[in-house]
Structure 1
Amino acid sequence: MDWWLIWLIAAGALIVIEMLTLTFYLLWLGIGTLAAAVVAIAAPEAILLQVIVGSVVALVLTVFTKPLTRRFHNGKGFKDAVDDLVGLQGTVVEDIHPDAPGIVKVGSETWSAKSEEEIGKGETVIVVHRGSAFLQVNKWGG
């Protein structure tokens, strides 16, 4: 198998996983592996060069975008729309167990959700915390 194809498959996997986690950690690695794939097409025998270029691209993106994203998040008027979910009510679409996440509908959107207690389908919940991939919910007592 050609190295450019291996790099391309790795980049695709990293970017898909990034889309599932929404953390931006794997996005830079995915872009770095895309750069390595480009180098592999141009210089198929230079595996060390491919690794170096991919690593440098990922490192540069990580280093230089961190202050930019920090400045953006700390900027005046910035508010993450997902933070508005805390305190909202939702309905359980798929059962939530303490050892297995379920799905809740909050407004018009569905989210993966965890809870320390078992909550059945159709029950009303309140969002108490937002993680990077899951909402933490409790049964609504109102």
Structure 2
Amino acid sequence: MLAISLFAIGILLIIVEMLTGTFVLLWLGIATLAASAVIFTTESIWLALLVFAVTAIGLWLGTKKFGKNVHKGQDLQSGIYSYIGKEVLVHSVDKKDNTIGTIMIHGEEWIVKSSRSLIANQKVSIKDIEGATLMVEAI
């Protein structure tokens, strides 16, 4: 009965993992399934606990190592910092200071500044962020 309960818990953890996408519940679910198999075949709770711990920790450590290898040398950016390096068109240019303008990214208007004059519809690359202003350079 304990083996079946653990099996059901393992399956439930894997299903919940599909909604979260963190891998933590997936590894715990797999470890729980392994522990349920041990209890089903040997009826040893201590061996099942050992298998659960080794499996869960092994999968977690393996994921960390795999993640580091996949993202080795890459600086993952999110939010506004993911805009750095993107190429966009200048939407408008300030009439008083032609080094300031606006661009549109994902339907949002952003103020941009360049070290050189900007022209409407000019292609620029986002190089840096200073406060709420994107620093750009002509391509």
Please report the TM-score for the alignment, with normalisation by the length of structure 2. 0.51
Which one has a larger percent strand, Structure 1 or Structure 2?
A: 2
Which consecutive segments of 4 or more residues in structure 1 shift more than 2 A? 73-76, 86-89
User: For the residues of structure 1 that align with 2:69 and 2:4, how far apart are their CA atoms?
Assistant: 37
Q: CA deviation at 1:70?
A: 2.3
User: For the residues of structure 2 that align with 1:21 and 1:60, how far apart are their CA atoms?
Assistant: 21
Quick one: structure 1 residues 72 and 10, their matched pair in 2 at CA, closer, same or farther if it must change by over 3 Å? same
Q: CA deviation at 1:74?
A: 3.8
User: For the residues of structure 2 that align with 1:24 and 1:87, how far apart are their CA atoms?
Assistant: 30
Gaps of 5+ in 2: 77-81, 83-104, 109-139
User: For the residues of structure 1 that align with 2:107 and 2:60, how far apart are their CA atoms?
Assistant: 34
Q: CA deviation at 1:87?
A: 3.2
Spell out, residue by residue over 1:108-138, the C-alpha distance to the aligned partner (whole angstroms, 9 max, x if none): xxxxxxxxxxxxxxxxxxxxxxxxxxxxxxx
- RMSD between aligned residues: 2.9
- Of the candidates 58, 61, 68, which is equivalent to residue 60 of structure 1? 58
State the SS of the aligned residue for 2:22.
coil
User: For the residues of structure 1 that align with 2:28 and 2:10, how far apart are their CA atoms?
Assistant: 8
User: For the residues of structure 2 that align with 1:33 and 1:74, how far apart are their CA atoms?
Assistant: 31
User: For the residues of structure 2 that align with 1:73 and 1:52, how far apart are their CA atoms?
Assistant: 32
Equivalenced residue count is 83
Query: Partner letter of residue 87 of structure 1?
Result: H
Higher relative contact order (CA 8 A, sep 6+): 1
Q: Which residue of 2 aligns with 1:70?
A: 68
Please report the TM-score for the alignment, with normalisation by the length of structure 1. 0.50
